């Protein structure tokens, strides 16, 4: 059943319109002030950064998406090969399938193609309430030779699924136990409805090493679950939440203000180098893209690397056009302002 659900999610994301009907990321409300005299050599603009102790050539993450099926294996291998070529980070889909069915483990194993990539293993946080143990978390990390573990938070998705896991009571203490016990950093990530400042503080106090806000404005998992709902009543229920969530820009600003020193990933509706530049200027350390990379990986590893290259070219020109020599200079720049009314 889990394998079937993974396949359904993959096909729906590739074939259906799963965007938010009205809610946007909020990034379109911000504009950069152009610098007509940058006093820089474009070729010397530096895009590299470090995150969780690992060097990246570009502050970009392929957000966690898939695994658990033969088609997902093909996509993960393309993503990994492209990430290695581009020098960016990569997240894997939930490894629950591999823990429950060891024969599916190979659909997640990509380290042989991405020896230098910052690689994130991934499990649903709520599974800590349904039998997944600290040892299982350690096993998931070891299985894919990951540098860190993402615990994803998806309460609304679970509530909308007919078969969802909806007992979230006492979960923070279990997350804290994982953070204390693992030898790798633990990252808390939403899946597209955003993390508020208050929740981010609680997660940081529990020992989470980084937060991925994964805000609203990109893929609406309410829409995804609507397409796979077994009854008309369930479809109507999912549709009611199609525009639920904290827009990505709002989540980044609020969480960065609440946690000025915690490593922060911004994802949820990012599509371009301009989107990446804006979230970095708002306070994020990395930007995560999912949908664009999924479509590229469905073609080839080369398409993945080319997409990352396009984002890099765009980011470099943005920095040049702002008179900023490197990515670090972008964070908090006064050159990002609310757009003038048109």
Q: Name the DSSP letter for residue 150.
A: E
Domain range summary for the chain, segments of one domain joined by +: 2-338
pLDDT in tens, 261-291: 999 999 999 999 999 999 999 999 999 999 9
In this predicted structure, the answer to whether residue 3 has a pLDDT above a threshold of 70 is no
Collapse the DSSP code of 168 into the 3-class scheme (helix H, G, I; strand E, B; otherwise coil) and give the result.
coil
Give Cα 8 to chain centroid, integer Å: 20
Beta carbons of 64 and 122 less than 8 angstroms apart: yes
Average pLDDT over the chain reads 95
| 3-class DSSP assignment, residue 70 | helix
- CA–CA separation, 73 and 51 (whole Å): 26
Strand partners, 123: 151
Give, for 100, the enclosing helix (H) or strand (E).
helix 96-100
CATH of domain 2-338: 3.20.20.70
List residues bridging with 41 in a β-sheet. none
Q: What is the pLDDT of residue 6?
A: 65
Among candidate residues 108, 104, 111, 82, the one with its CA nearest the CA of residue 93: 108
pLDDT digits over 131-145, tens only? 999 999 999 999 999
In the numeric block, which tokens belong to residue 321?
A: 């056009």
């Amino acid at each position: 059943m889990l394998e079937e659900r993974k396949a359904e999610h993959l096909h729906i994301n590739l074939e259906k319109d799963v965007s938010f009907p009205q809610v946007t990321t909020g990034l379109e409300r911000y504009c950069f002030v152009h610098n007509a005299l940058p006093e820089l050599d474009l070729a010397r603009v530096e895009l590299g950064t470090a995150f969780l102790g690992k060097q990246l050539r570009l502050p970009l993450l392929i957000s966690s998406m898939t695994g658990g099926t033969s088609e997902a294996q093909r996509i993960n291998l393309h993503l990994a090969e492209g990430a290695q070529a581009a020098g960016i980070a990569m997240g894997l889909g939930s490894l629950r399938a591999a823990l429950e069915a060891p024969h599916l483990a190979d659909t997640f194993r990509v380290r042989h193609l991405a020896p230098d990539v910052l690689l994130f293993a991934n499990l649903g946080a709520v599974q800590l309430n349904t039998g997944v143990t600290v040892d299982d978390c350690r096993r998931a990390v070891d299985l894919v030779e990951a540098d860190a573990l993402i615990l994803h938070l998806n309460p609304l998705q679970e509530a909308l699924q007919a078969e969802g896991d909806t007992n979230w009571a006492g979960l923070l203490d279990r997350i804290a136990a994982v953070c204390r016990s693992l030898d790798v950093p633990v990252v808390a990530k939403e899946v597209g409805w955003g993390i508020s400042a208050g929740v981010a503080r609680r997660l940081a106090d529990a020992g989470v090493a980084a937060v991925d806000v994964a805000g609203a404005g990109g893929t609406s998992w309410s829409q995804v679950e609507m397409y796979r709902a077994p009854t008309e009543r369930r479809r109507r229920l999912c549709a009611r939440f199609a525009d639920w969530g904290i827009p990505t820009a709002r989540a980044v600003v609020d969480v960065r203000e609440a946690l000025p020193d915690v490593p922060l990933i911004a994802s949820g509706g990012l599509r371009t180098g301009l989107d990446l530049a804006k979230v970095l200027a708002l306070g994020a350390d990395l930007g995560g893209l999912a949908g664009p990379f999924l479509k590229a990986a469905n073609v080839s590893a080369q398409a993945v690397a080319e997409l990352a290259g396009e984002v890099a070219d765009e980011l470099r020109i943005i920095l040049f056009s702002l008179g900023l020599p490197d990515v670090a200079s972008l964070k908090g720049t006064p050159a990002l302002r609310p757009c003038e009314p048109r």
